Amino acid sequence: STREKIKIDAIPYYTVLDGGIADIILNQFTKDAAQELKDAFLTMRSENDLKGLIIDLRGNGGGLLNEAVDIVNIFVPKNKLVVYTQGKTPDQNRNYYTKHEADDVDIPLAILVNESSASASEIVSGAIQDFDRGVIIGQRTFGKGLQGISACRCICVTLLRN
Protein backbone atom coordinates (compact mmCIF):
# COMPACT_ATOMS: atom_id res chain seq x y z
CA SER A 1 0.00 0.00 0.00
CA THR A 2 1.26 3.47 -0.80
CA ARG A 3 1.24 6.09 1.88
CA GLU A 4 -0.59 9.28 1.07
CA LYS A 5 1.22 12.48 1.80
CA ILE A 6 -0.78 14.48 4.27
CA LYS A 7 -0.67 18.18 3.48
CA ILE A 8 -1.02 20.36 6.53
CA ASP A 9 -2.27 23.81 5.70
CA ALA A 10 0.01 26.47 7.10
CA ILE A 11 -3.04 28.65 7.64
CA PRO A 12 -5.98 26.87 9.28
CA TYR A 13 -8.02 30.04 9.71
CA TYR A 14 -8.27 33.68 8.67
CA THR A 15 -11.00 36.29 9.03
CA VAL A 16 -11.74 39.99 9.23
CA LEU A 17 -12.74 41.08 12.72
CA ASP A 18 -14.96 44.04 13.62
CA GLY A 19 -13.28 47.32 12.85
CA GLY A 20 -11.51 46.07 9.74
CA ILE A 21 -8.75 44.11 11.46
CA ALA A 22 -7.61 41.07 9.49
CA ASP A 23 -6.56 38.04 11.53
CA ILE A 24 -4.42 35.20 10.18
CA ILE A 25 -3.34 32.15 12.17
CA LEU A 26 -0.08 30.68 10.86
CA ASN A 27 0.54 27.19 12.25
CA GLN A 28 3.93 26.46 10.73
CA PHE A 29 6.37 27.61 8.10
CA THR A 30 5.80 24.81 5.60
CA LYS A 31 6.49 24.96 1.87
CA ASP A 32 4.17 27.61 0.36
CA ALA A 33 3.33 29.14 3.78
CA ALA A 34 4.34 32.59 2.54
CA GLN A 35 2.17 32.26 -0.57
CA GLU A 36 -0.77 31.04 1.54
CA LEU A 37 -0.40 33.99 3.92
CA LYS A 38 -0.04 36.43 1.03
CA ASP A 39 -3.14 35.01 -0.71
CA ALA A 40 -5.21 35.18 2.49
CA PHE A 41 -4.08 38.76 3.19
CA LEU A 42 -4.63 40.02 -0.37
CA THR A 43 -8.06 38.36 -0.52
CA MET A 44 -9.16 40.07 2.68
CA ARG A 45 -7.63 43.38 1.58
CA SER A 46 -9.45 43.29 -1.77
CA GLU A 47 -12.82 42.63 -0.10
CA ASN A 48 -12.51 44.92 2.94
CA ASP A 49 -11.22 48.30 4.04
CA LEU A 50 -8.52 46.89 6.30
CA LYS A 51 -7.25 49.00 9.19
CA GLY A 52 -4.67 46.48 10.40
CA LEU A 53 -3.46 42.87 10.33
CA ILE A 54 -2.84 40.42 13.16
CA ILE A 55 -0.54 37.48 12.38
CA ASP A 56 -0.94 34.86 15.09
CA LEU A 57 2.29 32.87 15.58
CA ARG A 58 1.37 31.47 18.98
CA GLY A 59 2.37 27.83 19.17
CA ASN A 60 4.23 28.06 15.86
CA GLY A 61 7.45 26.12 16.33
CA GLY A 62 8.96 27.26 13.05
CA GLY A 63 9.84 25.54 9.81
CA LEU A 64 11.47 26.69 6.59
CA LEU A 65 13.70 29.74 6.89
CA ASN A 66 13.05 30.96 3.34
CA GLU A 67 9.30 30.99 4.05
CA ALA A 68 9.92 33.26 7.05
CA VAL A 69 11.95 35.64 4.87
CA ASP A 70 9.24 35.62 2.19
CA ILE A 71 6.55 36.41 4.78
CA VAL A 72 8.57 39.39 6.02
CA ASN A 73 8.89 40.43 2.37
CA ILE A 74 5.09 40.79 2.04
CA PHE A 75 5.39 43.81 4.37
CA VAL A 76 9.04 44.93 4.01
CA PRO A 77 10.64 46.28 0.81
CA LYS A 78 13.10 44.49 -1.47
CA ASN A 79 16.81 44.02 -0.61
CA LYS A 80 16.49 44.22 3.18
CA LEU A 81 18.64 41.86 5.26
CA VAL A 82 16.15 39.83 7.32
CA VAL A 83 18.43 37.25 8.88
CA TYR A 84 21.82 35.67 8.55
CA THR A 85 23.10 32.29 9.58
CA GLN A 86 26.65 31.70 10.73
CA GLY A 87 28.39 28.36 10.32
CA LYS A 88 31.65 26.97 11.68
CA THR A 89 33.53 28.41 8.71
CA PRO A 90 32.95 31.69 6.84
CA ASP A 91 31.92 29.85 3.65
CA GLN A 92 28.94 28.43 5.58
CA ASN A 93 27.63 31.91 6.44
CA ARG A 94 24.47 32.97 4.61
CA ASN A 95 22.60 36.27 4.34
CA TYR A 96 18.86 36.19 3.62
CA TYR A 97 17.42 39.31 1.96
CA THR A 98 13.92 40.20 0.85
CA LYS A 99 13.79 39.48 -2.89
CA HIS A 100 10.60 41.13 -4.13
CA GLU A 101 8.72 44.39 -3.94
CA ALA A 102 6.50 44.38 -0.84
CA ASP A 103 2.75 43.95 -1.20
CA ASP A 104 1.91 46.39 1.61
CA VAL A 105 4.40 48.57 3.46
CA ASP A 106 1.74 50.63 5.25
CA ILE A 107 -0.81 48.37 6.94
CA PRO A 108 -0.26 48.31 10.72
CA LEU A 109 0.85 44.86 11.89
CA ALA A 110 0.55 43.06 15.21
CA ILE A 111 2.37 39.74 15.67
CA LEU A 112 1.07 37.47 18.44
CA VAL A 113 3.68 35.20 20.06
CA ASN A 114 4.04 32.97 23.11
CA GLU A 115 6.62 30.68 24.70
CA SER A 116 5.97 28.08 21.97
CA SER A 117 6.76 30.50 19.13
CA ALA A 118 10.22 29.48 17.96
CA SER A 119 12.74 29.61 15.15
CA ALA A 120 11.11 31.02 12.00
CA SER A 121 8.40 32.63 14.17
CA GLU A 122 11.08 34.59 16.00
CA ILE A 123 12.70 35.62 12.74
CA VAL A 124 9.40 37.02 11.43
CA SER A 125 8.48 38.78 14.67
CA GLY A 126 12.01 40.13 15.15
CA ALA A 127 12.24 41.48 11.62
CA ILE A 128 8.76 43.06 11.71
CA GLN A 129 9.79 44.81 14.93
CA ASP A 130 13.28 45.79 13.73
CA PHE A 131 12.02 47.28 10.47
CA ASP A 132 9.37 49.23 12.43
CA ARG A 133 6.55 47.49 10.59
CA GLY A 134 4.58 46.42 13.62
CA VAL A 135 4.31 45.48 17.26
CA ILE A 136 4.92 42.15 18.95
CA ILE A 137 2.30 41.14 21.53
CA GLY A 138 2.48 38.24 23.96
CA GLN A 139 4.86 36.20 26.04
CA ARG A 140 8.60 35.76 25.70
CA THR A 141 9.34 33.41 22.80
CA PHE A 142 11.14 30.09 22.94
CA GLY A 143 14.58 31.55 22.16
CA LYS A 144 15.67 29.09 19.48
CA GLY A 145 15.90 31.44 16.52
CA LEU A 146 17.39 34.60 17.90
CA GLN A 147 20.66 35.15 19.66
CA GLY A 148 20.36 38.91 19.59
CA ILE A 149 18.55 41.74 17.87
CA SER A 150 20.45 44.79 16.72
CA ALA A 151 18.86 48.19 16.33
CA CYS A 152 17.96 47.60 12.69
CA ARG A 153 17.88 43.90 11.90
CA CYS A 154 17.26 40.50 13.30
CA ILE A 155 20.27 38.26 13.78
CA CYS A 156 19.90 34.51 13.76
CA VAL A 157 22.93 32.46 14.73
CA THR A 158 22.73 28.82 13.84
CA LEU A 159 25.55 26.52 14.91
CA LEU A 160 26.10 23.83 12.30
CA ARG A 161 27.29 20.54 13.74
CA ASN A 162 28.61 17.78 11.52
Catalytic residue of the set 23, 56, 70, 130:
130
The answer to whether residue 7 is catalytic is no
Catalytic residue of the set 32, 104, 116, 144:
144
Under 8 Å between Cβ of 72 and 98: yes
How many Å apart are CA 112 and CA 91, to the nearest integer? 35
The answer to whether residue 56 is catalytic is no
pLDDT tens digits along 35-59:
999 999 999 999 999 999 999 999 9
Question: Which pTM does this prediction carry?
Answer: 0.83
The neighbouring-strand residues paired with 56 are: 25, 112
Kind of pairing, strands 21-25 and 52-56?
A: parallel
pLDDT tens digits along 78-135:
999 999 888 889 898 999 999 999 999 999 999 999 989 989 999 999 999 999 999 9
The answer to whether residue 116 is catalytic is no
Catalytic residue of the set 117, 119, 121, 125:
119
Q: Which amino acid is at 111?
A: I
